[in-house]
């Protein structure tokens, strides 16, 4: 967002609605993302999660100020990771993979809710989104809200530590390989940040995001197709 704003690619209306969408995601969706990790971990056997203060949707328990700022400025951010003890799972690697998956699933669910609202308004109040009034702000807000949630889900599913996708990848790797990834996780994280900064990951991320967005749009438009 920062680069678009500085380059003049965002007008005031787009900037306002994008900031509002990001703030909703920071204070509502990212806590939901982390709660999904915590709730799934507890259900799979890590009952100690109940005492770590993360089985809540309270944003104060989850929001990371630097992660929120990064999301606002660069379009990719994070919340405080939920501490999970895989030793409490019957199958540690599988359990961690399932717990990791539930975070991106929460983002897709949030995007689907936004899509259903968007298509409901478009179906039953088609004139609301037209013109230059309040409806245009709602229109842009919903588009940004859906797109950012899908982008976060796709980004988190990359099989690169410390992202959620790496825990899913670890299900299929031998323990020795998993240990290697954990040993060099900090270095890999710095490489990931560098790749994001220079834009190397932009093409694959945009490609994957495009198709997930098309799926979300299709599935959320389906219930209202009879109206048109």
Asked if residue 1 has pLDDT above 60, the reply is no
Question: Which residues are CB-contacts of 24 (< 8 A; sequence separation ≥ 6)?
Answer: 145
Entry pTM: 0.90
**Rounded CA gap, 24 and 27, in Å?**
5
Nearest to 48 by CA among 83, 94, 92: 83
Active site annotation includes 132: no
Q: What does the pLDDT read at residue 25?
A: 95
What are the extents of the domains in the chain? 2-224
Instruction: Give the chain's largest Cα–Cα span.
Output: 59
Question: How far, in Å, are 4, 17, 36, 103, 113 from residue 107 at the CA level?
Answer: 24, 19, 10, 7, 10
Residue percentage of the chain with pLDDT more than 90: 63
Q: Do residues 94 and 23 touch, judged by C-beta distance below 8 A? A: no
Say which residue, 180 or 4, is predicted with more confidence: 180
**Averaged over 160-179, what is the pLDDT?**
91
Q: What is the pLDDT of residues 23-46, one digit of tens each?
A: 999 999 999 999 999 999 999 999
Catalytic entry in 34, 37, 95, 115: 34
**Averaged over 177-196, what is the pLDDT?**
84
Asked if residue 6 has pLDDT above 50, the reply is no
**Mean pLDDT value across the chain:** 89
Asked if residue 69 has pLDDT above 90, the reply is no
Q: What is the pLDDT of residues 72-124, one digit of tens each?
A: 887 778 899 999 999 999 999 999 999 999 999 999 999 999 999 999 999 99
> Residue 200, Cβ neighbours under 10 Å: how many?
11
pLDDT band of residue 11 (cuts 50, 70, 90) is confident
pLDDT band of residue 9 (cuts 50, 70, 90) is low
Q: Among 135-149, 174-188, 201-215, where is mean pLDDT lowest? A: 174-188
Q: What does the pLDDT read at residue 45?
A: 94
pLDDT band of residue 15 (cuts 50, 70, 90) is confident
DSSP-derived secondary structure letter, 80: P
């Amino acid at each position: 967002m920062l680069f678009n704003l500085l380059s003049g690619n965002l007008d005031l209306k787009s900037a306002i609605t994008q900031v509002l969408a990001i703030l909703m995601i920071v204070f509502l969706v990212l806590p939901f993302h982390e709660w999904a990790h915590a709730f799934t971990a507890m259900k799979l056997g890590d009952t100690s999660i109940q005492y770590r203060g993360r089985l809540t949707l309270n944003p104060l328990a989850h929001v990371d100020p630097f992660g929120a700022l990064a999301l606002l400025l660069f379009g990719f951010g994070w919340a405080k990771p939920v501490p999970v003890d895989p030793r409490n799972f019957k199958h540690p690697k599988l359990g961690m993979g399932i717990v990791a998956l539930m975070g991106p699933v929460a983002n897709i669910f949030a995007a689907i809710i936004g899509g259903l609202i968007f298509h409901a308004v478009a179906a039953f109040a088609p004139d609301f989104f037209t013109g230059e009034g309040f409806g245009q702000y709602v229109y842009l807000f919903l588009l940004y809200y859906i797109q950012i949630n899908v982008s976060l889900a796709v980004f988190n599913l990359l099989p690169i530590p410390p992202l959620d996708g790496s825990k899913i990848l670890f299900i299929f790797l031998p323990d020795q390989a998993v240990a290697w990834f954990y040993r060099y996780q900090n270095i890999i994280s710095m490489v990931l940040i560098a790749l994001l900064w220079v834009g190397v990951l932009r093409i694959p991320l945009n490609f994957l995001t495009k198709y997930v967005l098309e799926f979300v749009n299709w599935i959320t438009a389906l219930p209202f197709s009879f109206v048109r």
